Amino acid sequence: MMAAVTTNIVNGIPFPVLVDQAKYDALRDFPLRSDDFFLVTHIKSGTTWLQQISKLVKIKGEKTFIKDEDKHIFETCPWFEVIGKEAAMSVPSPRLFKTHLPYHMIPGGDPASSVAKFIYVARNPKDVAVSLYHHSRLLTHCEFDGDWDCFFELFMEGKCEMGSWFDHVSDWWKHRDAENILFLSMRT
Q: Dump pLDDT digits (tens) for 136-160.
A: 888 777 778 889 999 999 999 999 9
The larger pLDDT score, comparing residue 1 to residue 102, is at 102
Residues acting as catalytic residues: 100
How much is the pLDDT for 187?
78
Question: How far is C-alpha 117 from the chain's CA centre?
Answer: 14
Pick among 3.40.50.300, 3.40.50.800, 3.40.50.720, 3.40.228.10: CATH of 33-123+168-186: 3.40.50.300
- Kindly report the average pLDDT of the chain as a whole number: 90
135: pLDDT strictly greater than 90: no
What is the H or E stretch that residue 14 is in?
strand 13-15
Determine the Cα–Cα distance for residues 56 and 93; give it in Å rounded to an integer: 16
Q: What is the pLDDT of residues 55-100, one digit of tens each?
A: 778 777 766 544 555 567 778 889 999 999 999 999 999 999 999 9
Q: Give percent of the chain above pLDDT 70.
A: 93
Q: Could you give the angle at which helices 125-138 and 165-173 cross, rounded to 10 degrees?
A: 130
Looking at per-residue confidence, does 169 or 73 come out higher?
169
Q: How far is CA 56 from the centre of its chain?
A: 19
